[in-house]
Structure 1
Amino acid sequence: MSKVVGRWRIKWMEMWDQDFVDLVEPGYFQFDKDGLGFFVFGAVEGQIDYRVSDDGERVEFSWSGNDDGSEKSGRGWFQVHSSRLAKGEFFIHCGDESAVEIEHQT
């Protein structure tokens, strides 16, 4: 099983402060075993379709969902630095982008 599977709490985003990230509920990314997942932060939420590199150290994903009720999509990636920490980038198609750090929840 890939070490990215599970719920990862958003600890920091370059573009948005933590109060916004946790606006509706504590921000997170969820990576399920089947290559799909979900994320929530602020007023943004979406379904994820992800792939893990052969070495298990990088995950790349596309997503579709909404931002405050408006349909949105995008992509992103994370580099896994340890079993608990990953850092990457999150992109909204034709919109904002942000560096992001996540921490695996136990």
Structure 2
Amino acid sequence: MSKVVGRWRIKWMEMWDQDFVDLIEPGYFQFDEDGLGFFVFGAVEGQIDYRIPDDGGRVEFSWSGNDDGREKSGRGWFQFSSSNSAKGELFIHCGDESAVEIEYQT
């Protein structure tokens, strides 16, 4: 589980430019040791519940949170391309979806 634990900076999102991603603060995903975490980008924030499949090369998560104060939820995943970068998808339930690239920070 330690491969994913830490803060991952959002480097690119297909649906939103970096100015929006970093609107309130630099966009990130945080994965904690207990299988939970948090993310922020633009006016969207969410609490994460994640799992790592047996192969360890991927993390899958569901999330609940808000978009500018409106309740939202969804799911997503990341595939690790190295020890410090990953690519994946974020899905908003009944809404947008976006490819995402993240980079390990701490």
Same fold (TM over 0.5): yes
Deviations 1:9-68 (A, max 9, x none): 000000000000000000000000000000000000000000011121000000000000
Deviation, 1:95, is 0.2
Structure 2 segments unaligned to the other structure (5+ residues)? none
TM norm structure 1:
0.98
Q: Which region of structure 1 is more displaced relative to structure 2, 50-59 or 87-96?
A: 50-59
Q: Is it true that 1:4 corresponds to 2:11 in the alignment? A: no
Structure 1 segments unaligned to the other structure (5+ residues)? none
Q: Which region of structure 1 is more displaced relative to structure 2, 53-62 or 32-41?
A: 53-62
Counterparts of 2:2 and 2:54, CA distance in 1 = 10
Deviation, 1:104, is 0.3
Residue in 1 aligned with 2:37? 37
Deviation, 1:2, is 2.5
Residue in 2 aligned with 1:51? 51
Deviation, 1:91, is 0.3
Provide the alpha-carbon RMSD of the alignment: 0.7
Task: Determine what percentage of the aligned residue pairs are the same residue.
Answer: 89
Residue in 1 aligned with 2:81? 81
TM norm structure 2:
0.98
Question: What secondary structure does 2:103 align onto?
Answer: strand
Counterparts of 1:56 and 1:31, CA distance in 2 = 14
Deviation beyond 3 Å, 4+ runs, structure 1: none
Residue in 2 aligned with 1:67? 67
The AA in structure 2 aligned to 1:5 is V
Counterparts of 1:7 and 1:54, CA distance in 2 = 22
Residue in 2 aligned with 1:104? 104
The AA in structure 2 aligned to 1:26 is P
Question: What secondary structure does 2:19 align onto?
Answer: helix
